[in-house]
Amino acid sequence: VNDILIVQAGTGTDQIGRFDIMVDTDLNAVDTYTWSTVPIDETHCPRDESLENFIMHYKDLTDKKYGRLVTRFARKLEHPSRIQETPLGSLVADALQESLGIDVMLMGSGAIRSYNLGPVVLYSDFTECFPYDEAVYMLPVTGEQLTRMIKRFLREEAFTGEHTEFYQLSQGMHVVWSRSGQCFKELTLDGKPLGAQQIYKIGLCKYHYSSLKPFLDITLEEAEANGRVRVLATSYRDVIEEYFMTHQHLKRELEGRLIIEE
């Protein structure tokens, strides 16, 4: 296409592509080329027993690590969408909020990379669901600032296909957002309206902490004016894993923590 060679060796691992290219260095252009696919089979790729034994030695080690049981949920927990409350997202936010002793955990929806998890959770499932591993920061913010932060991630672009950050809310939060009115119909924590000047301890992972203004419409300086910003954990994945291991048969339902109205 437009003098650009485009090739593909199919899908999966049934074959590989071989491209032999002769380049005219004077013209800085491809002179001639041949393209072929090579099946990955006994004829073209004979087994190497010594290499197989070498690989299997490490496979035994990794199987022991990634095949161990982390927890059992009461049922499979879903995370079907980044822009809505999900049972798995709620559980993760709760695990961090409870373990770290904060008022609200804003857990980035995109950090949860599996559409579902459980009911049996092996370490391989766990690491696939949570491939990132970051520190968790605590920001002291006022009720007015927290309202602004939530309003920021509920902006209309989040629902129209643009790439924005979205968050799962920990237990106690209840938000009803009107898209048509671009306003909150309800916004409470533990059944009470947010106090405009009351200070709340908010948890954020490092990626979101590093981009406070574009993601949540607040600056680090604003948060620091309310008190000391602290690192609560160097690994949110370790915190979640420990919580899962010490709390068996966990479950979550859709509770109406975040209701989006047209």
SS3 of residue 211 by DSSP: coil
Please give the angle made by the CA atoms of 185, 191 and 194, to the nearest 5 degrees. Answer: 65
Structural domains present in the chain: 1-56 (no CATH), 69-261 (3.90.780.10)
* pLDDT tens column, 108-138: 999 999 999 999 999 999 999 999 999 999 9
Confidence (pLDDT) at 62:
86
* pLDDT tens column, 218-255: 999 999 999 999 999 999 999 999 999 999 999 999 99
Q: What is the largest CA-CA distance in the chain?
A: 75
- Token pair in block for residue 136: 């968790």
Q: Omega before 87 cis (within 30°)?
A: no
Residue with tokens 């296409």, as numbered in its chain:
1
Confidence (pLDDT) at 10:
82
- Token pair in block for residue 112: 């949860």
